[in-house]
Structure 1
Amino acid sequence: MTCQANSTVNDAASGKVPAQLHKFGGSSLADADGYRRVAHILLTQGESSDWVVVSAAGTTTNQLYQLLALADAGELWQQELSVLMAYQQQLVEQLLSGDAVRELRERLAADKAQLQSLLQLAVITDGQRAQLLGFGEHWSARLLAALLRHQGVCARDISAIEVLKADCALIPNIDSVASMANITQLIAQCDSCRLIITGFLCGGPDGETVLLGRNGSDFSASQIAALAGIPRCTIWTDVPGVFNADPNLIVDAALLPVLSLTEANRLAGLGSAVLHRRTLQPLFDTEMSLAVRSSFTPEADFTLITRHSHSDGQAVITTLPSVWCFTLADVDGDVEIDALLAQLADLSLTPLAWWQHHNRVELVYPPEQGQALQVLLHNDSLSLPLQRQLDKEMGLVALVSAQAGDYRQRFSRLLQRQAYSLYQDDVSLVTLVPTVQVARLSRRLHRSCAAALHRIGLVLFGPGNIGQTWLAQFFHQQKALAQQLGAELTLHGVVNSRQALICREGLTEHNWSQRLIDTSQGWQYPALLDELSRLPCDELVALDISASESLSEEYGAFFQRGMHMISANKLAGSASQAQYLQLQQALAVRHVLWRQNASCGAALPVQAALRELRLVGDKVEAISGIFSGTLSWLFSHYDGAVPFSHLLLDALAQGITEPDPREDLSGRDMQRKLLILARELGLPLALTDIQMHNPVPDTLSTVPLATFLQRANELDAPLAAALDKAREQGNVLRYIAQLEWLDGRWQAAVGLMPLPPDHPCATLLPGDNAFIIRSRLYRDNPLVIRGPGAGREVTAAAVQSDLVYLCRELLRN
């Protein structure tokens, strides 16, 4: 009916429909300065034809209720009335002058006399009570209209009794047809004149005053705006809008710029102090928007609510420190929950949430509705076996979001034993906890689900084969990972040895490659680090998927600037002991994180296993194995059937070795990895402490690569002899790294070693790595971790795993 009526207004009225309706609450009109702010807002934030709805100034309505209570109790009320009238008169004298003051003084005197007559009645009817309680709105409308006229603005105060018509039910129902006729007439008569309309009031069937109840002024404002076809209703109050949590409880609660009507309605139903369900109802049948703004900071941002708003899945946390719980038990079988909820809805007593068990339903209400339901139960007005639970004080914590289901897992993880399981509907998740835990849970929930997303920036160094594979993995998982972590992950840069592409707004899967190609300018570390420091992120993570020695030497500079590091590069982790200790000190001083699991074993959980053993108090006594995919492949295939040099050249042709195979054969790579693992155990070792037995003789170590490849057959005889010797003992020949506590000290070496056929490294698949850990707990039956220890996919996966771990640590802290 409302939409149809709006059309009627537009067709019938000769005047112009106002662009906006402004509603000002009592806090906005509490003193003379408040009235002046309101007048300024009306002159600067709208048009001359805008309509205004006002509440009673300050605590006026509460004072009127107090006068009634005193009169009902037969107590003296004259002093209280004098105080109230003096307050109203003072507002007039502070804001007006001349004839305007005299006129309003006379009207206040007449009102005081009328109040005295009402308070002296032996029996006060409902209509007279409503008339008495509505004086505050009349005073506000009258004074604001006079103030605007005093400032040269056409303004007229109107009693809502002449505008809105309703029945006299406990919760009055608006008569849309009668109200529409009045509004149509007003639009026609009051073009370009500000109407100041009383809130809280409407007219009954016989012209008597009817009150719209709690928050009635907000409701009357949105109802009038909807019936008039006004496109926007603005509720001016003492807060700038709706926050994603109670700012009195959570210091970093953020203002919501937009809110969908569905979300706003659920928040109102859950007891929001800013939003009220009846205020929102007219919006469901119109295209009207509702703004919530602060009259104290009118230039500040505010919240806009419309039917079509999209809040992008934002989460809002709301709480009630105390709720009433009721239990309905049906010993004969399952409770018919749909019928129960329908019956309660007919009584305007829909619960905030409910939990159903086999033969029991628990319902939760805010205290005001709980009291109303308790009265009905006490009077036997309901044929329901409902009982209020009085054994525990409970409060409510809820999350409201258009994508509420996406937050269920995170919310559930925060619940303790004393909490109820989660109630879920289309836009909310609700639980009950003991009242003393409400604040704590709401803070944790806000931090986990509603706080501004932690911005984690990423910069990739080394977009080669592994780097590009990681980029593909990252972009594929970016959205899901951000949702899982509750953080915003943005790739801000890609850097190779010649070019540095740094982008403040972030790079995408589709643009980074071409943009890097188009970047021709070179770079140097100081300037690059300065640029990285200016990126718009809370934390910056550098991912070193290079083999750059110069980059590894700059780790300290990254750490000093508070940047975190993930390394597939082994050079920093195996640097000299002095350099390594300097890096550890920088990490501790700046509280930054460094993960380097990808530098040893790729995605195999070797370093994680060592950390876990240390955490449980175990003592690692030895680490050994094959840590090189190339050496694993070579010696798994080397059985003497073909000379070793033939096998080596075949591996080079397949890309299994480094371009210079001597880098693999030297064992330097395994030496560095063994040192990284030793330092994971906290051992103060250096590379020089790890003996390295290089099968490449000195005569071939320093010659040019081409010469080495031509003379590679010089490796055949010594390696064949080593293989024959191992076979004579029933063993196989493998290239092994080994660290062990022996003869009262740690001893470490890498080199060729004969192994029995049942050794884990003897049966390793060609190209796989194996890590054998012996400890106090795993002494007789060592812990063996084996699998692909190299390759672009698994190494990229290890980098991604380190990134997830590092992000979780950052967010946890």
Structure 2
Amino acid sequence: MSSTLVPAHLPQDSLPENNLAQNKQPQNNLAKRAVEVHKFGGSSLASIECINRVIDIIQRNCQLDDIVVVSASGDTTDDLIEIFQLATENSDQLHQAIDALKQKQQALAKGLLSDSSVEPLTTAIEQDFALLAKWLQLDIRAHEAELLAFGEVWSAKLLAAVLAERVCPSYAIDAREFLVVDNDVNCQVDYKLSRDNLQQQLNSQQLTVITGYIARDNQGFPCTLGRNGSDYSATIVAAFTDAQNVTLWTDVDGIYSADPRVVPLSRKLHRVPRTVAKELGRLGNPVLHAKTLQPLERVGSHLHVASSFDPLTPGTEVGDFGHIAQRELSVTYLNDLLLVQSPSLIGQQGQSAFEQFNAITGDISAGELVIQLSQQKAVSEWLASYGTEIKFTPVSLMAVVGHQASKRANVKARFKRALKQQKTIAIYNSLHLDSIVAVLPQACSAELLNSVHQAVTKDAKHIGLVVAGLGNIGEQFLAGLPTQLERVKALENVHLVGLLSSRKSLYQLDGIEPEQAFTCFEQSAQPYQIDQVVEQLANHPYDELIVVDITPSEAFSKLYPQLFSHGIHVIGANKWAASAPLADYQEMLDLAQQHQALWLGNTTVGAGLPINYAIDDLQQSGDRIVEISGIFSGTLSWLFEHYDGKQDFASLLKEALAQGITEPDPREDLSGRDVQRKLLILARLAGFSLSLDDISCENLVPESLRSISLAEFLERAKELNEPFSQRLHAAQQQSQCIRYVARFGATAGQCRAEVSLEALPLSDAFASLTPCDNIFKIVSEWYQENPLIIRGPGAGREVTAGGLHSDLANACKQLSSKQHQVKLKGIN
């Protein structure tokens, strides 16, 4: 087992066992070596600040024996290319460019290392520039590959030195010492020789920093793997070491459904199937490149793409995923291409040409291939021997990429409709079935790409759903979910992915069939600790995640601030959060707003009745609420609608308990606390900053019966009879009835709020309800003489589950128009 990294300057006796041991001789068992490979691109290493950020990422994510692959820092490769061009042109600006680059590299070293550590590195840089001076006196063109390798070598040496000084034993390897490819055009790797070479280079219990982009050919000459070749280097090294994971740390936080520089509304693809990623790289995705994924096919390593500028944001995974990830779609494009048309490209000859020139797309039955512009001469020479007519046409391509895209008739039809107003030469299916490619006679414009992306991916936003609480209401909610998913268009991309009871949880990121939810839960759920919930949910691979909280748990409600901090949305029937202490409640509101997280809780009051919607709508419309009152408890509504003195109150209470109308302990209903919390929730929703202590609450349980056991309470329940009989008799003497009423009012800036047992005239709106009904009366500036009344069942599993489904549909409609900001630092 590899050891976790800790600062190198700690005394040895303070380190974990086997950590930061002295350098050992190279091991032969590479299967026990690199656990992970981490690659950092040039933008991630562009400055002192960037490199310090990389050091922090390595400390948090790497172990000893892991491997780090690096690109040249910042624009170093561009600077070296410019120097090469200036040298070949004998430009007067050459020495100025060389001095600027030398100063930049030395400044990085001096800004990151102590005086004792920096000297070897600055000396090595001086030696490299002295070597460059010698090449300039001869023929620089003979040393182009060596010149371009300087950037990666400097980057690897610098990072290894900083890590060795601050973190752990580290060393740099020049990839030219082990990596052998056929040539700098095909870049096909000699895996056995290169793997054996690397085996001799690796040291145990140290962090290895390897140069990306550079190699040597099978003649022993230095060469490069092409622009962006460092990603390819990283996956090659992963294949050599059987690494489990490869992380490409770049300047954008994942792979998107289109180039985010061109399409601002592109969506991050959290999980991309391996074959789809390969096709994306082939067809122009700016993050993935064609060769990057090839080595991983040998070992099946997992590929991650993440941002070094935002390392805590989950990136994109490339691997083997189920149907949800397979439904994702992307739109890519490539300009500066050629359509080659020739009879010699029909049939077997066309297949040979397709493979030899790695054609992008085409139709060999029609003798057509699409190639890179730079390949025109080579293709012409290859076809010349056949003596047939050849036609080259400048073209661009646009492609829809997704799992089995060419077999998905609706995708192809949508793509064709999106291109209806465009002149199109041809539309080809990919040979790998994962793309549909349109060849266009003109360059692909930003406007066209945005238009096609919108048309093709408009229904692609995926929403994960987690249900917490699997009691009666949870069971009813899940029972109705399949019908809702079919019936409500806003829910068509909602996927049930998590179930939580009070003791066990089940997460299946590829989806749980709602019809099989309880069966799956019984078979596969695992015990969990409540402090693990947010960590698990925060790493979800969906565009949005909604948690439906149907628990009565105060502990679960205390997770809301963390959920909101991760942008996770909450639909809550749980009253604890909405009636929390005022400071905590305000913090939750602020966090939800800050992180664009929705918090819907229509079922916290009135089950499925739209009281929350009504108050929110009045508020949003500019009305001002001055009074809220009503009967908010279905249990107390049932009790006092039935209590007429013919049956004693204790017997009626036990009857309600037997029917499941009350809580298991009826004192919870009789205490009035539930009504008190509901009134607080509504008052806050109406814009008033109240605390629970601001609402007086009449507890209907005598002091003598509050602290005893439930069994003793039920035995002594007859002690309730006399007090309630007196209250009822006094009301009846005045032709009134008794009802448990909640009242809130605001006058001249003063608020009053109470819940209590009241005597009401029989003509009062609260006096005659269907048992278990709730009633809400709202007085506002718009509803004064004739208040707004909302009445209906305020309890019951069916109506509460219905209210949750209403909130879910409302949330998904809001999220359909929500746009995420692309965290883009400038893709190379």
- State the TM bucket, normalised to the shorter chain: 0.5 to 0.7
Match of 1:129 in 2: 144
How far the C-alpha of 1:337 sits from its partner, in A, is 4.7
Q: Confirm or deny: 8 A CA contact 1:60 1:136 kept in the other structure.
A: yes
How far the C-alpha of 1:71 sits from its partner, in A, is 1.7
Instruction: Give the distance between the partners of 1:561 and 1:445, measured in 2 at CA.
Output: 36
How far the C-alpha of 1:289 sits from its partner, in A, is 1.2
**Please, which moves more after superposition, 440-449 or 141-150?**
440-449
For residues 480 and 429 of structure 1, do their structure 2 counterparts lie closer, same or farther at Cα, with a shift above 3 Å needed?
A: farther
Deviations 1:488-537 (A, max 9, x none): 499xxxxxxxxxxxxxx99967899xxxxxx9x9xxxxx99x99x99999
How far the C-alpha of 1:150 sits from its partner, in A, is 1.7
Alignment of 1:76-475 (within 5 A): 76=92, 77-122=94-139, 124-125=141-142, 128-168=143-183, 170-187=185-202, 190-307=203-320, 311-320=324-333, 322-330=335-343, 336-337=346-347, 339-347=349-357, 349-351=358-360, 353-354=361-362, 360-365=366-371, 369-374=372-377, 376-377=379-380, 383=386, 385-390=389-394, 394-402=396-404, 405=408, 406-420=410-424, 422-425=427-430, 426-433=433-440, 434=442, 435-436=444-445, 437-445=447-455, 447-452=457-462, 475=482
How far the C-alpha of 1:225 sits from its partner, in A, is 1.2
How far the C-alpha of 1:810 sits from its partner, in A, is 12
**Please, which moves more after superposition, 55-64 or 93-102?**
93-102
Match of 2:326, SS?
A: coil
Instruction: Give the distance between the partners of 1:388 and 1:15, measured in 2 at CA.
Output: 50
Instruction: Give the distance between the partners of 2:329 and 2:438, measured in 1 at CA.
Output: 14
For residues 85 and 64 of structure 1, do their structure 2 counterparts lie closer, same or farther at Cα, with a shift above 3 Å needed?
A: same
Instruction: Give the distance between the partners of 1:186 and 1:87, measured in 2 at CA.
Output: 30
Partner amino acid, structure 2, of 1:26: G
Instruction: Give the distance between the partners of 1:222 and 1:554, measured in 2 at CA.
Output: 54
Partner amino acid, structure 2, of 1:273: P
For residues 395 and 40 of structure 1, do their structure 2 counterparts lie closer, same or farther at Cα, with a shift above 3 Å needed?
A: same
Alignment of 1:622-637 (within 5 A): none
Alignment of 1:591-602 (within 5 A): none
Instruction: Give the distance between the partners of 1:429 and 1:307, measured in 2 at CA.
Output: 21
Deviations 1:616-647 (A, max 9, x none): xxxxxxxxxxxxxxxxxxxxxxxxxxxxxxxx
Q: Confirm or deny: 8 A CA contact 2:253 2:310 kept in the other structure.
A: yes
Q: Confirm or deny: 8 A CA contact 1:259 1:310 kept in the other structure.
A: no
Instruction: Give the distance between the partners of 1:473 and 1:42, measured in 2 at CA.
Output: 47
Instruction: Give the distance between the partners of 1:152 and 1:474, measured in 2 at CA.
Output: 51
Match of 1:35 in 2: 51
**Please, which moves more after superposition, 420-429 or 15-24?**
420-429
How far the C-alpha of 1:17 sits from its partner, in A, is 0.8
How far the C-alpha of 1:276 sits from its partner, in A, is 1.0
Instruction: Give the distance between the partners of 1:207 and 1:133, measured in 2 at CA.
Output: 17
Instruction: Give the distance between the partners of 1:446 and 1:308, measured in 2 at CA.
Output: 22
Partner amino acid, structure 2, of 1:103: P
Partner amino acid, structure 2, of 1:27: S
**Please, which moves more after superposition, 399-408 or 151-160?**
399-408
Partner amino acid, structure 2, of 1:56: A
Q: Confirm or deny: 8 A CA contact 1:410 1:449 kept in the other structure.
A: no
How far the C-alpha of 1:245 sits from its partner, in A, is 2.5
How far the C-alpha of 1:256 sits from its partner, in A, is 2.1
Instruction: Give the distance between the partners of 2:114 and 2:517, measured in 1 at CA.
Output: 68
Match of 1:318, SS?
A: strand
Structure 2 length-normalised TM = 0.53
For residues 80 and 381 of structure 1, do their structure 2 counterparts lie closer, same or farther at Cα, with a shift above 3 Å needed?
A: farther
Q: Confirm or deny: 8 A CA contact 1:25 1:54 kept in the other structure.
A: yes
For residues 215 and 441 of structure 1, do their structure 2 counterparts lie closer, same or farther at Cα, with a shift above 3 Å needed?
A: same
Match of 1:13 in 2: 29
Q: Confirm or deny: 8 A CA contact 2:354 2:369 kept in the other structure.
A: no
Alignment of 1:508-547 (within 5 A): none
Instruction: Give the distance between the partners of 1:242 and 1:364, measured in 2 at CA.
Output: 25
Match of 1:203, SS?
A: strand
For residues 361 and 107 of structure 1, do their structure 2 counterparts lie closer, same or farther at Cα, with a shift above 3 Å needed?
A: same
Match of 1:185, SS?
A: helix
How far the C-alpha of 1:100 sits from its partner, in A, is 1.7
How far the C-alpha of 1:296 sits from its partner, in A, is 1.1
Alignment of 1:675-754 (within 5 A): none
Q: Confirm or deny: 8 A CA contact 1:245 1:318 kept in the other structure.
A: yes
How far the C-alpha of 1:419 sits from its partner, in A, is 4.6
Name the % identity: 27
For residues 221 and 454 of structure 1, do their structure 2 counterparts lie closer, same or farther at Cα, with a shift above 3 Å needed?
A: closer
Q: Confirm or deny: 8 A CA contact 2:283 2:334 kept in the other structure.
A: no
Match of 2:180, SS?
A: coil
For residues 264 and 97 of structure 1, do their structure 2 counterparts lie closer, same or farther at Cα, with a shift above 3 Å needed?
A: same
Q: How many residues align?
A: 512
Q: Runs of 5+ in structure 2 lacking a partner?
A: 1-25, 466-475, 497-510, 519-549, 553-571, 579-588, 603-607, 622-808, 819-828
Partner amino acid, structure 2, of 1:430: V
Instruction: Give the distance between the partners of 1:22 and 1:182, measured in 2 at CA.
Output: 20
Partner amino acid, structure 1, of 2:270: P
Instruction: Give the distance between the partners of 1:122 and 1:243, measured in 2 at CA.
Output: 44
Alignment of 1:555-574 (within 5 A): none
Q: Confirm or deny: 8 A CA contact 2:238 2:296 kept in the other structure.
A: no
Q: Confirm or deny: 8 A CA contact 1:316 1:450 kept in the other structure.
A: yes
Q: Confirm or deny: 8 A CA contact 2:342 2:367 kept in the other structure.
A: yes
Q: Confirm or deny: 8 A CA contact 1:258 1:311 kept in the other structure.
A: no
How far the C-alpha of 1:472 sits from its partner, in A, is 11
Alignment of 1:487-506 (within 5 A): 488=494
Deviations 1:63-103 (A, max 9, x none): 11111112222323211111111110111111112222222
Match of 1:450, SS?
A: coil
Match of 2:66 among 50, 74, 78: 50
For residues 37 and 114 of structure 1, do their structure 2 counterparts lie closer, same or farther at Cα, with a shift above 3 Å needed?
A: same
**Please, which moves more after superposition, 417-426 or 90-99?**
417-426
**Aligned-pair Cα RMSD in Å:** 5.1
Instruction: Give the distance between the partners of 2:79 and 2:611, measured in 1 at CA.
Output: 74
Q: Confirm or deny: 8 A CA contact 1:54 1:217 kept in the other structure.
A: yes
Instruction: Give the distance between the partners of 1:396 and 1:374, measured in 2 at CA.
Output: 24
How far the C-alpha of 1:264 sits from its partner, in A, is 0.2
Q: Confirm or deny: 8 A CA contact 2:411 2:456 kept in the other structure.
A: no
Partner amino acid, structure 2, of 1:180: R
Structure 1 length-normalised TM = 0.54
Deviations 1:460-507 (A, max 9, x none): xxxxxxxx9xx9999579559869x965499xxxxxxxxxxxxxx999
Instruction: Give the distance between the partners of 1:163 and 1:480, measured in 2 at CA.
Output: 60
For residues 414 and 560 of structure 1, do their structure 2 counterparts lie closer, same or farther at Cα, with a shift above 3 Å needed?
A: farther
For residues 61 and 310 of structure 1, do their structure 2 counterparts lie closer, same or farther at Cα, with a shift above 3 Å needed?
A: farther
Q: Confirm or deny: 8 A CA contact 1:290 1:304 kept in the other structure.
A: yes
Larger radius of gyration: 1
Q: Confirm or deny: 8 A CA contact 1:448 1:486 kept in the other structure.
A: no
Deviations 1:776-798 (A, max 9, x none): xxxxxxxxxxxxxxxxxxxxxxx
For residues 45 and 454 of structure 1, do their structure 2 counterparts lie closer, same or farther at Cα, with a shift above 3 Å needed?
A: closer
Deviations 1:536-586 (A, max 9, x none): 99999x9xxxxxxx99999988987999xxxxxxxxxxxxxxxxxxxxxxx
